[in-house]
Amino acid sequence: MFKKFENLIDPFAFFEDATPPATLWAYLKSHYHPFRKWLAVLAISGIIVALVETGLIFYSGRVIDLLGATEPGGLMARHGAELIVAAVFIMTLRPVMIALNHLLLEQMLASNMQEQVRWRAHKHLLGQSTGYFQNEFAGRLSNRVMQLGEAVEDGTYMAFEGVWYSLTYVLGAAVILAGVHPILAVPLLLWALIFALYVRYIARRVAVASEKWSDARSTVTARVVDAYSNIETIKLFADEGTEERYVLSAMRRLRLRFQRFLRLMTELSFGLNIINGVLIVGMLTPAIWLWSDGAISVGEVSAAIALTIRLNGMSGWIMWVVIRLFEHAGVIREGLRSVAVPHDVVDQPDAPTLKVDAAKIEFRGVTHHYGRGRGGLNGIDLTISPGQKVGLVGRSGAGKSSLVNLLLRMRDAEAGQILIDEQDVATVRQTSLRQAIGMVSQDSALLHRSIRANILYGRAQADEAAMVAAAKQAEAHAFIMDLRDAEGRAGYDAQVGERGVKLSGGQRQRVSLARVILKDAPILVLDEATSALDSEVEAAIQDTLFDLMKGKTVIAIAHRLSTIAQMDRIVVMDAGRIVEDGTHDVLLARDGVYAALWARQSGGFLGENAE
């Protein structure tokens, strides 16, 4: 039975990955849409349960009146059938109704809503460009995604289990009291009005305080995760107390914002007790007066007292639920700052898949200044023939990596076109574009998974033999077989740690190479592919790389000019422009920029100050 209700909704079902709405109610509606049919059933079941509970209290007053009007021993003779029906209802139908309500609340709603929100938020963030992540803390993003799911689910749960139930309960109580005597409903309705106004006054302030509190929590998480992710740098460079002060300042801010939130809770409790005191006195006074005047019975007075005491107990819970709703609203608004952000690199509607036959690459008037109006690339015109190996040379900041990032469509060029086999990369599906390009970068970070999972990321459907062959070709198989992690997993099953920190830089680079070898894409981009390797391993890897280049169109970036001297062409960049283009021998004979770089390099390495 549980599974049946749990499977009423699939939180991971396909959805159109449009930019989430930036406003609270519109965002909530987008997540309620798959639940809409069952939310209506949940609302109806909530009404039934609330009315049953109020009716039960009213019926207890009737039982008191029956006891008072019947001599001892005659109760069952006169009213036995009625009492048996009531007992059967209380023991059977009431539990079934309450169980149905909770199956819908817990199994249908709570078990699915939270993960739906998190999955959709995570999926949308995965579609953001690399520039988006460069401007955000990973810790803050993950914190917002996790909190967002909890806030939407818990807020919705409380809206039905708390607010909707309580509203029905109060209205049901008012109807019952009005049926006993119209005067008894007046203090209850006045209390409900005062209570609602007070909750609204406090809740608005709570929403603001909660958003600031949530923002402070995200900042603390971001700084803590940043510290753990860069612990080696902190150990090497931070003087005593620097990192503690950096995180402590955020924690102090979090404490202050939490204290402001708690002040509202104390103020709320004080005001609530005053309002409840008014309810108790306001209800008991007319009830006793009406009884003394003979207008109502003792049982009806008892029912009125029971309803009042029940509402007095419920009011604190209702207030807490409402406050939590506004607290969750603040958390959702804070999370939407990161989640409700449009993708800046998007596929066109019905974008076709890139078809690579020859792997010819063309840059036509490509300009990109990162929105600053300067720097970056300026009118790049470059054609790379099918199967040609091109080396990109230039000082740091010359625009080499920018050119590669635009080819991969990590960003969109501000002007010009980039074509692969006459297909504009801006018009094809991003996934198909990147599937056609294998890249080994100087930042050889790995996923915090096994060696096997990292290599198979290049081609998930590859078999074990192909994976091992790729590792051997990358000179990685031998050290992989010697690996063992803290959990006792060995070889290809060993975990590499976050960003591959359990491996040396050279080992990470060789695993990255194995991944690209396995991918076997028609276009190959090497960005300082051997920068982390020692000379002996680099010599072995160079042969591997040249084997890997066969039959592919290649772009290789290197500061160490000796590693690209054998390329078919060398393109020299400076200040975002191409200043020279030719073979190694031709460029040396020209005695221009490349020749000066070659002459000035030390051990084949292009220095920062080379001119």
5-51 confidence digits (pLDDT tens): 999 999 998 887 788 999 999 999 999 999 999 999 999 998 888 88
pLDDT digits (tens, 9 = 90+) for 461-514: 999 999 999 999 888 899 999 888 888 889 999 988 766 667 777 788 888 889
Q: How many other C-beta atoms lie within 10 A of the C-beta of residue 371? A: 9
The string of pLDDT tens digits covering residues 254-284 is: 999 888 888 887 887 788 778 878 878 888 8
Mean pLDDT on 80-96: 87
Instruction: Tell me the three state secondary structure of residue 277.
Output: helix
**Sign of the C-alpha dihedral, residues 544, 550, 552, 558?**
positive
Report the topology of domain 359-436+567-611: Rossmann fold (3.40.50)
244 or 3, greater pLDDT:
3
> Which class is 21-339 in CATH?
mainly alpha
Given this model, what pLDDT does residue 591 score?
Answer: 86
- Report yes or no on whether pTM surpasses 0.85: no
CB-based contact 344:412 (threshold 8 Å) = yes
Reported as a single tens digit per residue, the pLDDT across 351-401 is: 999 999 999 999 999 999 887 767 789 999 999 999 999 999 888 788 888
pLDDT on residue 536: 61
Q: Fill in the amino acid letter for 215.
A: D
Q: How many CA atoms lie within 13 A of 337 on its CB side?
A: 18
Tokens 């590499």, residue located: 496
Cα–Cα distance between 295 and 483 in angstroms, integer?
88
Q: Mind listing the pLDDT tens digit for each residue in 136-176?
A: 777 788 888 998 999 999 989 988 888 888 888 888 888 88
Strand, coil or helix: 360? coil
Q: Where are the domains of the chain?
A: 21-339, 359-436+567-611
- Predicted confidence (pLDDT) at residue 607 exceeds the cutoff of 50: no
> CB-side exposure of 533: number of CA atoms within 13 Å?
22
553-557 vs 569-574, strand pairing mode:
unpaired
The tokens of 601 are what? 């390099």
